[in-house]
Amino acid sequence: MEPKKAREFKLPVSVVTQYDVSKLLLDLENVEDFFLQVKVRRAGNAVNLPAISPQMEDVVRQNDLNLLQASDRERLKFILMTIHTKSPIIHMSFSVSPSQKFLEKIISWMRNNVSEIVILQIGLQPNMGAGFTMRTTNKFFDFSLRQHLNQKRDLLIAELKKRVE
Amino acid sequence: MSIGFIIITLGLVVIVAGLIFLIFKVNFGSFGKKPQMKSGDDDPYNLQAEQAVKAIFNDEFREELRNRGRLHFEKIIGENAMFLQQDLQLTTSELNEYMKQEITAKLQEEFAKYEQSIMDAKDLAIQSINKTQDAIEQQRQMLSKQVVEQLAKDKDRLITNFEQNMAQVINHYVLEAIGSQIDLNDQLDFILSNLEANKKAIIEDIVDGA
C-alpha cells in the first residue's frame, strides 16, 4: 500500500528510475549541507551555492515546495525516502537504450494508470529485436518481437514444409 | 635294377666256376692219366699202336684240342651269358613292370586316400563356409535393419533439428535485420497498447505484491 503522504506528492515524469530518486536525495542533502554551512560560516567566507538538478527543479515546482524552508525540505526528504524504499518498481527492457523523452511518456502512462509514485528500472536486451519485456513483482510480460516470432514458429515450420514438399 | 645286377653277377660267377672245374678236369682228370698197362703191354703191336697214338695225340694235337675245347667252352659260356643276360633282362623288365604296377597301385591307393582326405576337407570347408555365409547373411540382414532404423531416426532427428534451428536462424536473422532499424518512438503506440491491454494484471500484481 502506498503511503498517504507519498500519494499526495506529485512525482514529475522526469524522475523515472530509482537512480533519479537517489539523485534527488543527494541534491536535497547538498541543500541541507549548504544551509548548515551558512549557519556555521564566519563573516567574509564565501559559501558555494549547491547545484540543483532539473529533476529537483521539477519536483519543487510541481509540488509548490520552497527549499529555503526547512519544513519543506524535511517533508520532501521523508517523501523521497519513502518513494526510494517503498514505491513499486517495474522492470522494463528494450532492444536499444530509450531516450529520456520516451521514458517520460512511458512513466506518464504508468503514473496515470498504475501508481502515482511508480518508478522504472530500465534494462537493455539487444536480442529481442523490437518491443519490450516487463517484470512486475510477481509477473513477467514479454511483448518482444523475439517472443512473437517464437510463438509463430509452428506457422513458420508449416510454411517451410509446404515450400519443401 | 640292383636285384637284376646281383642276379647277373651271381650267374657269371657260377658259370666261371663251372668252366674252371671243366678245365681242371680236362688237364688233371682222365686226359692226364696214363692208361693202365694191361697184361699185353709188351706186345710190339701194342707198342706200335701206342707209339702211333702218341704220334697222333702229341702235344700239338693236345694243344689244339685244348684250344678247341677252350673256344667251345667260351662259345658255350658266351651263349649262356647271352641267355642269362636275356633272362636277366626279361626278369628285370618283369621286375620293373611288377614294381611299376605295385608302385602305381600303391600310389593310386595313396592318391585315393589323399583325394578322399581332400574331399573330406573340402566338404568341411564348404560346410564351414556355408555356415559362415549364413551367419554373415543373418548379420547383414540384422545390420541392414538396424541401419535402416537408425537412418530413419537420424532423418527424423535431423528434420526436427533443422526445423528448430531453421526457425531459430530465421528468427535470429529477422531480429538482427530489423531489430535495430525500428525506432523506439515508432514502437510507442504498440508498447502503450500492450500496457493498456495488461493494465489490470499489472495493477493487481502491484497491489497484491506490495
Please give, one letter per residue, the 3-state secondary structure of B72-117: HHHHHHHHHHHHHHHHHHHHHHHHHHHHHHHHHHHHHHHHHHHHHH
Please state the rounded mean pLDDT for residues B1-25.
82
Distances (CA, A) of B53 to A73, A145, B15, B25, B36: 202, 168, 34, 21, 15
CA distance A69 to chain B (A): 33
Q: Which residues pair with A90 in a beta bridge?
A: A120
DSSP string, A103-160: HHHHHHHHHHHT-TT-EEEEEE-GGG-SEEEEE-SS-EEEEEHHHHHHHTHHHHHHHH
Touching check for A19 and chain B: CB below 8 Å? no
Place of cell 647277373: B8
Q: How confident is the model at residue B41 (pLDDT cuts 50, 70, 90)?
A: low
| Each residue's pLDDT tens digit, A102-147 | 899 999 998 998 888 889 999 988 878 788 899 988 889 898 888 8
| Statement: residue B60 has pLDDT above 90 | no
Chain B interface, Cβ < 8 Å to A: 163, 166-167, 170-171, 174-175, 178-180, 182, 184-185, 187-188, 190-192, 194-196, 198-199, 201-203, 205-206, 208-210
| Statement: residue B167 has pLDDT above 80 | no
Please state the rounded mean pLDDT for residues B25-43.
58
Spatial separation of the C-alpha atoms in residues B56 and B65, rounded to whole Å: 12
Please state the rounded mean pLDDT for residues B144-149.
94
Chain B contact set for A129 (CB, 8 A): 174-175, 178-179, 182
Touching check for A130 and chain B: CB below 8 Å? yes
| Each residue's pLDDT tens digit, B191-205 | 889 888 888 888 888
Place of cell 604296377: B101
DSSP A95: S
Q: How confident is the model at residue B179 (pLDDT cuts 50, 70, 90)?
A: low
> Taking each helix axis from N to C terminus, what angle separates B59-178 and A153-164, rounded to the nearest 10 degrees?
130
- Taking an 8 Å cut-off on Cβ atoms, the answer to whether B179 and A126 are in contact is yes
Chain B contact set for A139 (CB, 8 A): 201-202, 205
Please state the rounded mean pLDDT for residues B40-68.
82
For A47, left (φ over 0), alpha (ψ -120 to 50), or beta? beta
Q: Which pLDDT score is estimated for B180? A: 66
- Smallest Cβ–Cβ distance between A131 and the set B187, B198, B203 belongs to B187
Q: Which pLDDT score is estimated for B135? A: 95
Among A32-41, B127-136, B137-146, whose mean pLDDT is lowest? Answer: A32-41
Q: How confident is the model at residue B32 (pLDDT cuts 50, 70, 90)?
A: very low
Q: Which pLDDT score is estimated for A2? A: 47
Distances (CA, A) of B89 to B1, B56, B76, B96, B203: 10, 46, 19, 10, 139
DSSP A65: -
Spatial separation of the C-alpha atoms in residues A73 and A66, rounded to whole Å: 8
Percent above pLDDT 70 for chain B: 90
Q: How many Cβ atoms from other residues are within 10 Å of residue B81's Cβ?
A: 16
Q: Is the dihedral of CA B139, B142, B145, B149 positive or negative?
A: negative
Residues 67-106 of A with CB under 8 A from B: 88, 90, 94-96, 98-99, 102, 105-106
Q: How confident is the model at residue A1 (pLDDT cuts 50, 70, 90)?
A: very low
- Smallest Cβ–Cβ distance between A131 and the set B190, B196, B206 belongs to B190
Q: Are strands A140-144 and A131-135 parallel, antiparallel or unpaired?
A: antiparallel
Spatial separation of the C-alpha atoms in residues B177 and B75, rounded to whole Å: 135
- Smallest Cβ–Cβ distance between A88 and the set B170, B179, B210 belongs to B210
* B45-56 as b/e: b if 16+ CB within 10 A: eeeeeeeeeeee
Spatial separation of the C-alpha atoms in residues B170 and B177, rounded to whole Å: 10
Q: Which pLDDT score is estimated for B161? A: 83
Contact A25, A51 (CB under 8 A): no
Q: How confident is the model at residue B29 (pLDDT cuts 50, 70, 90)?
A: low
| Statement: residue A160 has pLDDT above 90 | no
Spatial separation of the C-alpha atoms in residues B16 and B22, rounded to whole Å: 10
Place of cell 636285384: B3
Q: Which pLDDT score is estimated for B4? A: 73
Spatial separation of the C-alpha atoms in residues B65 and A82, rounded to whole Å: 179
- Taking an 8 Å cut-off on Cβ atoms, the answer to whether A146 and B166 are in contact is no
Chain A contact set for B202 (CB, 8 A): 90, 114, 134, 136, 139, 141
Chain B contact set for A106 (CB, 8 A): 188, 191-192, 195
CA distance A140 to chain B (A): 10
Q: How confident is the model at residue A6 (pLDDT cuts 50, 70, 90)?
A: low
| Statement: residue B148 has pLDDT above 90 | yes
- Smallest Cβ–Cβ distance between B179 and the set A98, A129, A153 belongs to A129
Spatial separation of the C-alpha atoms in residues A98 and B183, rounded to whole Å: 9
Spatial separation of the C-alpha atoms in residues B186 and B40, rounded to whole Å: 190
Q: How confident is the model at residue B207 (pLDDT cuts 50, 70, 90)?
A: confident
Of residues B118 and A148, more confidence is placed in B118
- Taking an 8 Å cut-off on Cβ atoms, the answer to whether A113 and B209 are in contact is no
Mean pLDDT score of chain A, rounded to an integer?
85
- Smallest Cβ–Cβ distance between A153 and the set B167, B180, B198 belongs to B167
Mean pLDDT score of chain B, rounded to an integer?
84
Place of cell 560560516: A41
DSSP B32: T
ipTM attached to this prediction = 0.76
Q: Which amino acid is at B75?
A: K
Question: What is the Cβ-side half-sphere exposure of residue A134, based on CA atoms within 13 angstroms?
Answer: 22
